[in-house]
A and B are shown apart, each in its own frame.
Chain A
Amino acid sequence: MQASTEQTMETMTEVPTLKEKLCSVYEQNRSLISAGDLPFITELREKAFTHFKKLGFPHQGLEAWKGTSLDKVLSHNFGLSLTPLAEEVDAEEIFKCEIPNFETLLVTQLNGWFVHNGQPIRQFPNGMIIGSLANAMKKFPEIFEAHYGKYAKTENNGLNALNTAFAIDGFFIYVPDNVHVEDVVQMVNVVSIPQDILIQTRNLVVLGKNSSLKLVQCDDTIDHMHSFINTVSEVVIGENSSLDHYKLQNKDDKSTLINNISFHLTDNSNLTTSAITLNGGLVRNNINVLIDGEYCTANVNGLYLMDKNQHIDNHVFVDHIKPNSTSNELFKGILDDSSTGVFNGHVMVRKDSQHTLAYQKNRNVLLTDKAAMDSRPFLEIYADDVKCSHGATIGQLDESAIFYMRQRGIPADEARALLLYAFAGEVINQIRIPVLAERINEMVRKRLRGELSTCDDCALHCKYQNNAPCVIDLSNIQLT
């Protein structure tokens, strides 16, 4: 017995970490990974790779990761694919959006790769361009040179670094000046693969001047395998432009989703974004809003409904670097069972950002004694003529309100559901696409009644038969 224990110990120490395996894969596949690059992107990769080598994955010793541990996730034997799917798949096959009357321009990623359907890039009569990031960089190098890698920094962020080193494909959306896109653009990331998988995807969204766009971004997992998705999105909103961005996360319990999104706002621009997390094993939203213009408005919202052992971490950084802009943050969460959550909201108002209005609110309801929430608002203000406020609450449902409703004849369960639904409503009401708001409302209602526990019940129902893409099995990587 003793001998075998020792042996196990010994082999344990020899198993390389995920970081070491990834570094080894990168070093052995440099040319493959950067095959389609613009030269400056290869340079970025190399730099990012050194950063990743230095930083590795984030750990709880870091201030920004105190409340969230990736240790368990990192212990899985993930696969990784460095080349697109062997065969073409039909987007309609993978993802069927069942929102009635919700006509969208749908673009899909399957396991991190853009689904072409023979059309890697679509150019619309109004000038809008939607397509695969990998293809777009060659066709529109000037847009990439202006924006790619400019907002998602890698020096201090191991996950950004990992993504920048490895990511090959993702969504690219470009709206030229003076274009108001009528249709809602829906970006869907589907993970469906019968094995544990690590995915790096990269999105770039650029709005020109005097333009507007409504974006809905959905994350779904289908097969119940372990998945670890590390997404980096860079979003640029030109002067006088407006973006509505709604992110709907409905992942299964075995999934880990890192959503790193950086918004860059310029003069007179307008952003409304909501991160709606209905399910997800571990979800970390890194939402960075850089207000690099005057007279901007940024509404940054989130709603999370967690249960079982799910974990949500919303890490929001709103940086006012110019005067006269407004930011409103509203994050609300309901935590059931043994679920846990972190809200880390940092608002920075720099010295010259006078007349800034910055409001932040984080409200949480814990439904059990085992559920836990860690809310850390942080206002850092260097300008003197500003109005800022923040408030964080963690509480239970108001028992006196429940008693009041029951006294009128409403059963206890229904009273609770009404309260929770009202609580969530404050965020849903800010969704400015009525059909979507209605549908999310319905999903939240279902979710609160416990009828939406997996994505099988998702309103955004999707199905997919796997066709085995080319995957490197990281469990077989040996370090030499």
Chain B
Amino acid sequence: MTRSDKMLSIKNLKVSINNKEILKGINLEVGAGEVHAIMGPNGNGKSTLANVIAGSSAYEVTEGEITFKGKNLFDLSVEERAGEGIFLSFQYPVEIPGVSMTNFMKSAVNAQRKYHGLDPMPAQELLHKIEAKRKLVEITDKMSGRSVNEGYSGGEKKKNEIFQMALLEPSLAILDETDSGLDIDALRVVANGVNKLRTKDNAFVVITHYQRLLDYIVPDFVHVLYEGQIVKSGGRELALELEEKGYEWIKNELAQ
């Protein structure tokens, strides 16, 4: 595979917030069928990277480029990126009072179908699909009548993200700390959900602080994002090494 065949390609990405540079030249290539883990200390730009890929306007991209399936992402709106198959499991899922989960998912599924020139999904078919995907992440149906994320516990919110991912079937899913706040059983459920969705055509970027998740979702690559740059990349053993030695190890290595 040549570089340009990669599903996601990020080159020298620099991003600022309020004139403060957060990302200082990120390079990352994600190919179809791959799972990448991004680790790194708090406040070093992991979520910033995820949000910029999704198209958040809270950040200013000062340099670099991102292509997705050969398209320049900066030419696409947030919803167009979603239509192209980018999904972000939010670190902090947003509560939307008054909008029911069912209505929300119906709008999302049909908006994406419309983007691809398809008619809305028949209501019955959609309900069946929702039912099936809900089982996949083992969430109870009492959640579906409620407003989006409203009053959900931290863990329920994360499961709900995976449920939405399962329903929307993205080609690139970025999971931003989806494991944080999950109990051991829920962690397994979420990981299984992800594993069941893995195919040779889709890819995952998993942002996490814990090697534990990577026991379940086995990554092909592990990257360390530190002070706005990917300072180290390796295979899954890098995660184990990090767990053992901590970030001091990276910092010392960089200082040399």
User: Which residues does A use to contact B, with CB under 8 Å?
Assistant: 398, 400-401, 403-412, 414, 418-419, 421-423, 425-426
Given contacts A409-B79, A409-B111, A409-B112, contact A423 B98 (CB under 8 A): yes
How many A-B contacts at CB < 8 Å in the complex? 78
- Residues of A near B225 (CB, < 8 A) are none
Q: Which of A404, A407, A410 has the most CB of B within 10 A?
A: A407
* Secondary structure class of chain A's binding surface, majority of residues: helix
| A410 and B98 within 8 A (CB) | no
| A412 and B79 within 8 A (CB) | yes
- Residues of A near B94 (CB, < 8 A) are 398, 400-401, 403-404
| New contact pairs (8) apart from A414-B111, A425-B98, CB-CB < 8 Å | A398-B96, A405-B104, A406-B78, A407-B55, A408-B112, A409-B115, A422-B97, A426-B98
Shortest C-beta distance, A378 to chain B (Å), equals: 26
B82 contact from A401, A408, A414, A422, Cβ within 8 A: A408
* In the complex, chain B residues 137-178 whose Cβ is within 8 Å of any chain A Cβ: 147, 164, 168
User: Which residues does B use to contact A, with CB under 8 Å?
Assistant: 54-57, 77-79, 81-83, 87-88, 90, 93-99, 103-104, 107-109, 111-112, 115, 147, 164, 168
| B96 and A410 within 8 A (CB) | no
Given contacts A405-B104, A406-B79, contact A411 B111 (CB under 8 A): yes
- Taken together as a complex, chains A and B put the C-alpha atoms of A401 and B95 apart, in Å, by 7
| B96 and A414 within 8 A (CB) | no
Name the CB-closest residue of B to A408. B108
| B96 and A422 within 8 A (CB) | yes
Name the CB-closest residue of B to A406. B78
Name the CB-closest residue of A to B107. A410
| B111 and A401 within 8 A (CB) | no
- Taken together as a complex, chains A and B put the C-alpha atoms of A419 and B99 apart, in Å, by 7
- Taken together as a complex, chains A and B put the C-alpha atoms of A411 and B112 apart, in Å, by 9
- Taken together as a complex, chains A and B put the C-alpha atoms of A84 and B93 apart, in Å, by 62
Name the CB-closest residue of A to B81. A407
- Taken together as a complex, chains A and B put the C-alpha atoms of A412 and B90 apart, in Å, by 18
- Residues of B near A401 (CB, < 8 A) are 94-96
Given contacts A410-B107, A410-B108, A414-B111, contact A405 B96 (CB under 8 A): yes
- Residues of B near A421 (CB, < 8 A) are 98
| A407 and B96 within 8 A (CB) | no
- Taken together as a complex, chains A and B put the C-alpha atoms of A418 and B82 apart, in Å, by 18
Shortest C-beta distance, A417 to chain B (Å), equals: 10
| B168 and A408 within 8 A (CB) | yes
| A406 and B82 within 8 A (CB) | yes
